[in-house]
Amino acid sequence: MSEFIVRKMTADDIPQVAALEKELFTMPWSEQAFADELNNSTASIVVAQAGGEIVGFADMREIVGECYINNVGVKMRHRRKGIGRALMQALEDSATDEAEFITLEVRQSNEAAIRLYKSMGYIKVGTRRGFYEQPAEDADLMTKFLKRVVMK
């Protein structure tokens, strides 16, 4: 396994993160979108760095106790080395004590990501029909409950 560190993203990381986003996703965020996210007080963005290279990143927003993961990406040649799990754990660790759950959408065909999320305690709670474009695909909505939710 290669050595890597996970840390908070900085403005200096934006070009590498945006390039990785473009490499991994069919509808990538722009550099400006990442700059805006860095300035968003509800966002937590982390990167995985190996040597001087950004090899992964993850982004989450927390709004009134609800956490939403927007993006998780790891360079193809660095997959299956624990980087995705470390990024997800860093996001979970960044959630405040008020956070009740963390949720995300994942392409139904992304079996590796679904296995990772399930292994970390996420469960499928629904389907978002037609959520993805280029190519069109449904998303599984997966959630990890951080606190016991009591319905009244």
93-150 pLDDT, tens per residue?
Answer: 999 989 999 999 999 999 999 999 999 999 999 999 988 888 888 999 999 998 765 6
53 located within any domain: yes
Q: Which residues pair with 60 in a beta bridge?
A: 44, 69
136 located within any domain: yes
Question: Which domain covers residue 39, as residue numbers?
Answer: 5-145
152 located within any domain: no
pTM attached to this predicted model: 0.90
Q: Which residue spans within 43-100 are E strands per DSSP?
A: 43-50, 53-63, 66-74
CB 18 within 8 A of CB 31: yes
116 located within any domain: yes
- Both tokens of 122, joined, read 């996420």
Exposure string of 117-140, with b = 16+ CB inside 10 Å and e = fewer, is: beeeebeeeeeeeebbeeeeeebb
Q: For the chain, what is the domain count?
A: 1
Indicate which CATH number applies to the domain containing 117: 3.40.630.30
151 located within any domain: no
CB 48 within 8 A of CB 83: yes
11-34 pLDDT, tens per residue?
Answer: 999 999 999 999 999 889 999 999
